[in-house]
Amino acid sequence: MEAPRPGCIGDRVLRNEDARFLAGHGEYLADLDIPGTREIAFLRSPVAHARIRSIDMPPGAEGRVFLLKDLGDIHPVRAVLTTPGFRGSDYPALAADTVRFVGEPIAICLGATRAAAEDLAQEIVVDFDELPPVVEIEQALDPASPSLHGWPDNICFVSTPGGGEVDAAAKAAAVTVTREFRMARQCVVSLEGRGVLAYWDRRLQELVVYSSTQQPHVIRTVLAKLIGVPEHQLRVVAPDVGGGFGVKNNLQQEEVAIAALARRLKFPIRWVEDRREHLIASPQAREHRVRLTAHADARGKILGLEAEAVVNAGAYSIWPWSAAMEANMVAGILTGPYAIDAYKGRGVTVVSNKAPLGPYRGVGRPSACFTLERLVDEIAAKVGREPHELRIDNMVRPEQMPYRTVTGKLFDSGDYAESVRQVAAMIDVPAVRARQARQNGTGPRRIGLGFASYTEQTAHGTDEWIARGLTEVFGYETATVRFTPDGKLIIEAAIQNHGQGLETTLAQVAAQELGVDPADVVVRHGDTAVSPYGMGTFASRSMVMAGGAVGRASRQLGEKVKRIAAHLLQVKPADVTLANNCAVAGARSVPLKSVTDAAFLHPENLPAGEDPCLDETTTFQPLSGTGAFAYATHAVVVEVDTGTGLVEILDYAVAHDCGTMVNPMIVEGQVQGGVAQGIGNALLEESPYDSGGQPLASTFADYLVPGAPEVPTVRIAHLETPSPFTAYGIKGMGEGGAIAAPAAILNAVNDALRPLGVELNETPITPKRILTALHDARTE
Ligand code: MCN
């Protein structure tokens, strides 16, 4: 592969945005300093399920406490799948008649400070007529449980993906392995919580809504419909956003309530989520129960799979994804990177009196990967083979690409088995096995080795969203690339950068096409008044989509620059190249500044018929509806202390392929960060509820996230197989680290404990779960 040009695609450029952040100059929602702003505290439901009989206001509440009826004529949020059988539900901005989860907002309270607003909220008396709550999956599946939304039961949707002859596979199989797996409910825990600030701008006659969101444009579109402000009088701005990981990738009830109220007030109002609100009232994630059966031949070649994934989606469908997003995802991608021709899947979404589920890094895939990869290890144990070798034998081969999976995904390119070979070499399987043989059984600490492989669907096209029944999600992005008269470049992009390094990588794409210095490019995003329309940053799409749009716009702009430069140099446009801030033709060159000077300030110097000014706006969408598929294999060595139940990660290696890397350093940071979250998923994070529907983890003392001591430095190898379906062959990759880590870690822990008769198939594997399993195995 050719060495990258400095500052261009493939170079390890330092992040442009870091100087600002490291100097403390980021401006987050809580930092906004708009005169006259009053702070909001939400009165939230303290009970899981109840009818509201009455709400008694404290003295002086008028103009300071607002209920749904005070917000004017607004519509409830209703996220729908167009797929037949889907059951939708109305999700009001503030609960007026019924509350369905602890933390559901009921009233907005205003104060000069957050503390004053909270004091006011405490004085409101709500008379609840409590109803029996539906909390766990089994209750939600029970037809005798009370129905949350007036449906015949609490089943929101059932999908049945699959194809091929599963019965024939079962008949032909030498081994059949069945297991039930559980992945706990989690919180998302972005560094910055959610938040909204809104006011009516009298001069521009527009409603300005600042929100810590991943998708300002579509939030504007849906808010406009819900609160009845036309889109051209509504501006949504995402200031600096301190991480999203999916929790800011949906319409928030607080956004609707605050925007609707701000339209009626004469001063700005702001809500900044605190950590307790984040842990109980933000959209949560996971909570899956998956039953999986694999039929395999005597060598462990998988002939067929059967799966039922039940997901507890909480109280409501959030916009635009709907409650069915998780279950559909798990059931839809369960065959993983393997060539499995026969599959019978069933994805069941149930509703309950818990916080609604939303997207979180990986959406369904950590659970799908966990269940399949755990089962692969159990098949390997049954047929007596090394788990990584079994994986290699089952994988889709390079010569089969592009490969259509049994659930209709089109894998684009890559050598999946090579990722296993590489990571097995990095982790040194024979050395780990030798260490196990030496150490295990000699004391309480046992060594285990685990692998996990996956494909990560990224940059989904419009067809994919429509196939999933989502008609308000689309698969393109837009960018404007413009020179200023002094020869500098501005990129305006509809994506929203909240930690992914996009201010740098989009500049690198422009540098590739226009020869500009990426450190000198300004990237503007996150503001509907600044950037062209787009869907935003989620589903590992921005590098492919916005990168593609910036590349296309830059190329078109470059053609015009070359025509003008050729005119100035008196050569043919075809002889001009762009590099080092200059247009070059052989030994002669002209600075880009001279070209922009002609384009903006001296049209008399332009070639005949050439329009003045230098800017281009284009869109980009991948050539395949199902997007581009990154893939990876993770390998981890753990030491499990059978005395304390603690798991220590000794070594962690990843061999991955995200096509052409724009900035390998950023890619490595993304893998490392994703693995950190996967470690939390595997070992620590869980949001349990009691039988009354009360969330039990509402502080960081109860909800444990990994810190530096729990997260090892991940060793990363890159494979780089370009995608045939995207610009420059780029594939997305932002979720991958989080997808495989739970599977790899549980496989490693099970590898360590298998000789003791222990098998763990539920995340997180806390010390308590490990010790209980060891105790049960001893007493059986
Ligand atoms: N990149 C690259 N070359 C590639 C692919 C990606 O250089 N071939 C770089 C780009 O800078 C890109 C980043 O890696 O922005 C992640 O790439 P991509 O897969 O396109 O993902 P997005 O940019 O669309 O970001 C979304 C993704 C998702 S879905 C979650 S969840 C997540 C993640 O990014 N949330 C994050 N990473 C996060 N990182 C931070 N710091 N904060 C979050 O909230």
> Each residue of 304-315: pLDDT tens digit?
999 999 999 999
How far is the centre of ligand 1, averaged over its atoms, from the C-alpha of 735 (Å)? 7
| Most ligand 1 atoms within 8 A of CB, residue of 670, 719, 721, 726 to mutate | 670
Helix (H, G, I), strand (E, B) or coil at 192: coil
Neighbours of 771 (CB within 10 A): 16
How far is the centre of ligand 1, averaged over its atoms, from the C-alpha of 497 (Å)? 9
| Most ligand 1 atoms within 8 A of CB, residue of 325, 540, 677 to mutate | 540
* CATH number for the domain running over 32-131+194-241+248-281: 3.90.1170.50
Ligand 1 contacts CB of residue 677 (under 6 A): no
The answer to whether 18-26+476-620 and 285-462+624-779 have equal CATH topology is: yes
How far is the centre of ligand 1, averaged over its atoms, from the C-alpha of 670 (Å)? 7
Specify whether the CB–CB gap between 723 and 662 falls below 8 A.
no
Q: Sign of the C-alpha dihedral, residues 60, 65, 68, 73?
A: positive
Specify whether the CB–CB gap between 86 and 469 falls below 8 A.
yes
Ligand 1 contacts CB of residue 412 (under 6 A): no
Ligand 1 contacts CB of residue 500 (under 6 A): yes
Which of 483, 563, 136 has its CA nearest to residue 313? 136
How far is the centre of ligand 1, averaged over its atoms, from the C-alpha of 363 (Å)? 14
Ligand 1 contacts CB of residue 505 (under 6 A): yes
Give the C-alpha distances (Å, rounded to integers) separating 269 from 40, 76, 202, 278, 616: 7, 21, 15, 19, 37
Ligand 1 contacts CB of residue 216 (under 6 A): no
Residue having the nearest C-alpha atom to atom 21 of ligand 1:
540
Q: What is the pLDDT of residue 780?
A: 77
Q: Sign of the C-alpha dihedral, residues 396, 400, 404, 410?
A: positive
Ligand 1 contacts CB of residue 521 (under 6 A): no
For residues 763 and 765, what is the distance between their CA atoms, to the nearest angstrom? 5
Neighbours of 27 (CB within 10 A): 11
For residues 135 and 206, what is the distance between their CA atoms, to the nearest angstrom? 42
* CATH number for the domain running over 18-26+476-620: 3.30.365.10
How far is the centre of ligand 1, averaged over its atoms, from the C-alpha of 676 (Å)? 15
Helix (H, G, I), strand (E, B) or coil at 19: helix
Q: Which atom of ligand 1 is the closest one to the Cα of 243? A: 44
Q: What is the pLDDT of residues 234-283, one digit of tens each?
A: 999 999 999 999 999 999 999 999 999 999 999 999 999 999 999 999 99
Please say whether the structural domain 285-462+624-779 has been given the CATH code 1.10.40.30.
no
Which of 728, 719, 773 has its CA nearest to residue 746? 773
Query: pTM here?
Result: 0.97
Q: Which atom of ligand 1 is the closest one to the Cα of 544? A: 20
The ipTM is 0.99
Q: How confident is the model at residue 2 (pLDDT cuts 50, 70, 90)?
A: confident
Q: Which atom of ligand 1 is the closest one to the Cα of 537? A: 24
How far is the centre of ligand 1, averaged over its atoms, from the C-alpha of 731 (Å)? 11
* Strand stretches in 642-721, DSSP E: 647-657, 715-719
How far is the centre of ligand 1, averaged over its atoms, from the C-alpha of 525 (Å)? 15
Q: What is the pLDDT of residue 353?
A: 98
How far is the centre of ligand 1, averaged over its atoms, from the C-alpha of 741 (Å)? 17
1 pLDDT above the threshold of 80: no
For residues 641 and 447, what is the distance between their CA atoms, to the nearest angstrom? 9
HEC per residue, 94-128: CCCCEECCCCCEEEEEEECCHHHHHHHHHHCEEEE
Ligand 1 contacts CB of residue 539 (under 6 A): yes
Identity at 24, one-letter amino acid code: G
How far is the centre of ligand 1, averaged over its atoms, from the C-alpha of 426 (Å)? 25
Q: Average pLDDT in the 179-189 region?
A: 98
Q: What is the pLDDT of residues 718-744, one digit of tens each?
A: 999 999 999 999 999 999 999 999 999
Q: Average pLDDT in the 329-338 region?
A: 96
Give the C-alpha distances (Å, rounded to integers) separating 504 from 122, 430, 497, 667: 46, 41, 10, 12
Q: What is the pLDDT of residues 764-776, one digit of tens each?
A: 999 999 999 999 9
* Percent of the chain predicted with pLDDT > 90: 99
How far is the centre of ligand 1, averaged over its atoms, from the C-alpha of 325 (Å)? 20
Domain chopping of the chain, boundaries? 18-26+476-620, 32-131+194-241+248-281, 285-462+624-779
Q: Which atom of ligand 1 is the closest one to the Cα of 667? A: 14
